[in-house]
A = this chain, B = another copy of it.
Amino acid sequence: MMKKIQVILVDDHQLIRDGIKSLLQDAQQIEVINEASSAAELFQLLKCQKPDILILDVSLPGMSGIEITKVIQKEFPSIRVMILSMYIGEDFIFNALKAGARGYLHKNINSYELITAIEEINKGNEYFSTQVSDIILKSFVKKAHTGVKQGEEKEEILTSRELEILKLVAEGFSNPEIAEKLVISIRTVESHKTHIMQKLLLNTVADLVKFAIRNNIIEL
């Protein structure tokens, strides 16, 4: 008999994990060998088990799915990562792929598509759910029009201080409150904020909050 495709499932909601496991039980060629609810748990598992495919939810407490993907690519390049997400923002998808993900599926897919995706990725191909590939195409077309080449994007990463301020801002603290907390001048807080906005290409606090939520910097 053929070797089954071995999968580890990572999602912070047990109900979702149970559901997906249950779905995949119907697929004879796929075997969920283990599961994790956080990055820490996952890395613990990987000390003993190496799956063929890792199914990662993007939004995890602590380390985001995308960050995990980067680490996996570096430490265990033979493991193929498939991202499962509720969000289909362009930047999101782009960052996931840049991090080395082989597939990106929106949660609005059916079980058949999930199984197909796993099989394709296992073969070494890439797989995107319909909505996701639409967005990639649109983005490509748009970039072609505006003359921006793929990959010329923001590679900016926030410094730890900036991340700290981003978090506090998104949590709803005012500048004076943040200044007091961190024992720095209000102007400094403003400076950091400005830099953050510039780096992330964000224009409003609203966008900043959304960014923080999507990247699991704060809880919703």
Interface residues of A (CB under 8 A from B): 12-16, 18-20, 22-23, 25-26, 84, 86-87, 105, 107-111, 114, 169-174, 203-207, 209-210, 213-214, 220
Contact = CB atoms under 8 A, between A and B. Distances in A.
Contact of A213 (B22, B169, B213): B213
A87 B220 contact: yes
List 3 tightest A-B contacts by C-beta distance, closest first.
A19-B19, A22-B22, A172-B204
A114 B19 CA distance: 11
Given A87-B220, A172-B204, A220-B210, A23 B19 contact: yes
Given A22-B23, A172-B206, A172-B207, A15 B213 contact: no
A110 B14 contact: yes
Number of this chain's copies in the complex: 2
Contacts of A111: 15, 18-19, 22
A19 B170 CA distance: 33
Chain A interface helix/strand/loop/mixed: helix
Contacts of A110: 14-15, 18
A184 B20 CA distance: 50
A12 B131 CA distance: 14
A17 B75 CA distance: 34
